[in-house]
Amino acid sequence: MPNRSSDTLFQLVKSLKKSEKRNFKLYVKRNTASEDLKIIYLFDALDKMDTYDEVELLEKNKRLSKQQLSNVKAHLNKQILASLRLIRGESDIVIQLHEQLDYAEILYNQGLYLQSLKVLDRIKEYARAYHQYSYVLETLFFEQKIEALHITRSMQDRALKLADEMTAINRQLQLSGSLSSLSLQLYSWYIQHGVARNEKDEIAVKEFFESRLPAEKPASGAFYENLYLYQCYSWFAFIGQDFLSYYRYTHRWVDLFDKEPAMVGIETGHYIKGMHNLLGAHFDLLNYPKFLETLERFEIFFESDVVRENDNNRIQTFVYLHIAKINQHFIDGSFSEGLALVPYIEEKLKEYEIYLDRHRILIFYYKFASLYFGSGDFENTIKYLNKIINWRMDLRTDLQCYSRLLHLIAHYELGNEDLLEYLIKSVYRFMAKMQNLSKVEEEIFRFLKKSFQRGPKELQGEFSDLLDRLKNYEKNRFETRAFVYLDIISWLESKIRGVPVQKIIREKFLERNQIKASS
């Protein structure tokens, strides 16, 4: 799904809500000379376009010449951002801190040093309250500059106090930066490779993690340091498929925001990601009651002002909320009911396409394919898997591998024997090249090769034999990924019993939750 346009100004114009467009025009007419109102003409022209085409833009708008277009676009971009800053400044802590620093700079340049210092004191107090320590550091640099160049007589031992503050803040920022970098590197490893495939992967990730984990532990009230620490442990546990530890640290991640609700509005993206991972942990552990409880909480959050009034928050929450809604159907075996979500989500993916990264889109395609597979619609399973298989393969090699495996099994279900021999060899080579072949997958390929020579009655025995062999791997942590991406056990049981796979999964769900309810 390509972006509608790579033109950044066009994307910015298309991202504006009606109220923001109206505010922009009022702002420009109030603050721009009449001869510069050409930017409104360009704004309207871009707003009317569905896709950006510079040739078409110039042909339909003769007031714009090719020579001046670049300058007008740059000026328009600047004015849009300025108008957005005005309407968002009151609710955004970071913008307010920037603004106050600007005021301190203006006062200083006016020669009003003491007034500037008072503003800087307020900034420090405000920044500390919301854990914005980079702004505290910037303020301290400014204070040191004033004290070094002017005699303010603001207090005795001023130099020593500023030096102590600077040392403490630098230490906090260094720890926060180290943990943030480690968290990002672990997440990047997962995006590239998925979970640990074998003992070699596990050892490599463990050595990488432990060698970079700072020896110093964050203080109990240090919000960002603890946030990044919990993220590090969450990614490390998830890569190693230690789902209990994954749950433990994602829960602590979200709990940080529960203890400091004001931070939800400041670090909304981290809160959204934390809720997504907490839902994922409940899903991996099949903890259905807690999954529903967290999902309901996330749905309420989706309707909050902090989400509805911010495009980025709204889109990210939509993505993670609907991944969770699909996962609910996977847990309870209601695959056919879950198909009702697909057209709506696809419509939204098209609407949000300029904001979404390819990784999220690939995940939705795989989940759509899995819904169709579970409901017995193998044609549509193949349709969505082809979207993944035909995509440029540069991330999530695990997802690429399992898409091909599920694609192969869907063709097997359709009885496409003329394709199967080729697909088996092709998928086997691909997974072997990606070093992604587990013992479970080896067994599946061995079965599929044999099945060509077996009649329907003989196949029943082969299904049973394969099921018995695969059950030996269910508790092997390096084999669990095969069962997470593809519930091969339930598929085999459905073939043996001659019933739809979603019926098998539904029965397991009801039995599991009945046992929990009675215990």
Helix, coil or strand: residue 10? helix
What is d(CA 420, CA 426) in angstroms, rounded to the nearest whole number?
10
For residue 254, the model assigns a pLDDT of 98
What pTM does this model have?
Answer: 0.82
Band of residue 239 on the pLDDT scale cut at 50, 70, 90 = very high
Helix, coil or strand: residue 355? coil
> Token pair for residue 109?
């340049």
Return the C-alpha torsion angle 316, 320, 326, 330, nearest 10.
Answer: 160
For residue 3, the model assigns a pLDDT of 40
Mean pLDDT lowest for which of 150-154, 158-162, 172-176? 150-154
Band of residue 90 on the pLDDT scale cut at 50, 70, 90 = low
Predicted confidence (pLDDT) at residue 383 exceeds the cutoff of 60: yes
Band of residue 370 on the pLDDT scale cut at 50, 70, 90 = very high
HEC assignment per residue over 330-350: HHHCCHHHHCCHHHHHHHHHH
Predicted confidence (pLDDT) at residue 43 exceeds the cutoff of 60: yes
What is d(CA 430, CA 32) in angstroms, rounded to the nearest whole number?
59
> Token pair for residue 225?
């340091």
Band of residue 377 on the pLDDT scale cut at 50, 70, 90 = very high
The alpha helices in 223-310, defined as continuous H runs, are 223-239, 243-259, 262-266, 268-284, 288-302, 305-308
Predicted confidence (pLDDT) at residue 457 exceeds the cutoff of 70: no
pLDDT, average across residues 455-476: 79
* DSSP label of 218: P
> Token pair for residue 249?
């640290």
* Span 195-220, pLDDT tens digits: 887 888 889 999 999 999 999 999 88
Specify whether the CB–CB gap between 467 and 440 falls below 8 A: no
Percent of the chain with pLDDT over 70: 92
Mean pLDDT lowest for which of 23-32, 46-55, 356-365, 446-455? 446-455
Band of residue 102 on the pLDDT scale cut at 50, 70, 90 = very high
Predicted confidence (pLDDT) at residue 252 exceeds the cutoff of 70: yes
What is d(CA 23, CA 275) in angstroms, rounded to the nearest whole number?
34
Mean pLDDT lowest for which of 14-18, 122-126, 389-393, 455-459? 455-459
Band of residue 280 on the pLDDT scale cut at 50, 70, 90 = very high
What is d(CA 107, CA 124) in angstroms, rounded to the nearest whole number?
17
